[in-house]
Structure 1
Amino acid sequence: MSSRPTAGFGVPENEIDPQHFIVRISPSGRELVTVIEDYGISGPKFDSEENGPVDQVLRCRVDPRRWRMVATPLRNAFNERLKSRKLRSGRWEAGDNRVHRLLGREMCVLLWAIDECDESLVPAAVNAWTGLRPEERWWLYAMAAHNSGKADEYNRGWRKAIRYGLTEGAALPDAYRPTLLEGL
């Protein structure tokens, strides 16, 4: 089916140590889901906080309940894109899941939006994220990753703007909107 061999969600297998993201899901399903950007052979990158080069950066931690709310929409969006490029689809499993670097950037935008928001706003964030073009997601990632892209920097700069923009500034999907009769 696939014209090029890939692992996970579109990570090329025929390249030596490509840049990609790792989504670490605990086997118990009770620990935080972590997202790590691995620079691969193109790294390491200089980290001013560490005052030296780093090969990996912890981008996000999400509680398992929120992860379950976004895992299926992420998988569907990624597999649709992979299928359009005649690449093998992926699925989320316990352990380390590899994600292509561009898809990982898009995933971070959604996870950054939901990591500290009210849980009732997660469907709105998914709806708003789905409405963005990939290029818009990449741009948002680039803006946030520059100065607030680590896991613990959730309440500053572009990370805060992404959270407000995709949750509170977005409309809920039709399935979550109350009808006129429910208010009576």
Structure 2
Amino acid sequence: MGGLIGQLPAVDHADRLRSVTLTHTGALDMGTTGEAPALEGERLERLIALAVPGADEESELARRVALWREMHGDVLPFDEAEYRRLEERAVAHAGTFAPSTAHIRLGAEPLPRGADDLRRATTPTLVVQGGLDPFYPPGFGRHLAALLPDATLLEIPGMGHALPAAVHHTIADAILDHIRRHP
């Protein structure tokens, strides 16, 4: 959801931004280059089963880690402890183990803004796309980058809908390079 929200200041307030980096997202018009989300079969069944929040903090943390495992992809190493720490920090910050439902409320429908707005954007944009993202397969990132006049696309093979430590250096280096090119 942050990737969609991040497109709005890039479109409406380019004078306030030097650049923007968008990850794991589609364009405001939710268009793609033809690849549908890879949510089907057993993976879809597992994700649906993981939609029910845990009854207590421990079961909720276990559910969240299992959800990350499903979104992570099967290529890059999955570090369960890394994701557990991430979720423990999220629970501590929120002051509750009850999950947020904001992402669930966002449908895969085009927003009132769209492709024409993005084509007029002047904000230099880095689009980071996971090669195994089950929610936004590569076609979504390609579509977004193609709409933006000053976009660079970074596709990371093996990355799902998560930012595991295995790709932190690759993404950080790309962001630093992007920022250096647009001071």
Q: Determine if the TM-score, normalized by the shorter chain, exceeds 0.5.
A: no
Q: Which has the higher strand share?
A: 1
Query: Normalising to structure 1: TM-score of the pair?
Result: 0.28
